Amino acid sequence: MKFVPTVVVGPSGVGKGTVISAVRAKYPQVWLSVSATTRQPRPGEAEGRNYYFVDESQFDTMAADGDLLEWATYQAHRYGTPCQPVFEMGRSGQCVLIEVEVAGAKQIKERLQRVRTVFITPPNWSILEERLRGRGTESDSVIEQRLATARREMAYQSSCDAVIVNHQVADAADQLVRFLGLAPVKGSTSPTE
């Protein structure tokens, strides 16, 4: 059976993870790929839930062994999507989401015959900046680098199948639910209410 994973892409800080969490809170059958990364965990992040936190040599091995569907370097750290769970979940009929930055999305589109891409965009630039600073987890120089990368990444939205503006998480989540074609939850007027 051919499956069609959905790649969720957009600049760091735009709220991709928050929007996806809002969808999964209502639709636990939606499966989200857990990436491997060489960056350090942020406070509150857990191994195997947010990421698989690996060192450089473990990442090298995963990449060399062909265990990654895609991988990219982002702000001096590497991030990659383990292939096997994506294919297993896809084959078992799960709705598969993969959250990546733009270079990773391009690789997945090249590699898989069928994939759908959703770009999450901020309502405006100052909101993205506020969100990145508000997280309070990165230094000013890291935030500046992430903003510079985000400016370049914004151009990719025209290559995506859908663009969702993240004004309000609940509204953005509703739009993602509709894009995924998920049936409304019983007793709810709106998919994520």
Measuring CA to CA, which residue among 19, 51, 22, 35 is closest to residue 122? 19
Q: Which is nearer to ligand 5GP, 24 or 39 (CB)?
A: 39
Number of residues that bind ligand 5GP (CB under 6 A): 15
Does residue 16 belong to the site contacting ligand 5GP (CB under 6 A)?
Answer: yes
- φ, ψ dihedrals at 120, nearest 5°: -100, 125
Q: Is 74 in the site for ligand 5GP (CB under 6 A)?
A: yes
Over the window 93 to 112, marking each residue x when it contacts ligand 5GP by CB under 6 A and - when it does not, the resulting string is ------xxx-xx--------
Cβ nearer to ligand 5GP, comparing 103 with 147: 103
With a CB cutoff of 8 Å and minimum separation 6, the contacts of 57 are: none
Which of 68-76, 84-92, 123-131, 178-186 is the region at the interface with ligand 5GP (rule: CB under 6 A)?
Answer: 68-76
81 vs 191, which CB is nearer to ligand 5GP? Answer: 81
Closest by CA position to 120, among listed 46, 179, 51, 184: 179
C-beta of 26: minimal distance to ligand 5GP in Å?
21
16-26 vs 169-180: helix crossing angle, rounded to 10: 70
Those residues with Cβ within 8 angstroms of residue 174's Cβ, 6 or more apart along the chain or in another chain: 190, 191, 192
- Positions touching ligand 5GP (CB under 6 A) are 12, 16, 35, 39, 70, 72, 74, 79-81, 99-101, 103-104
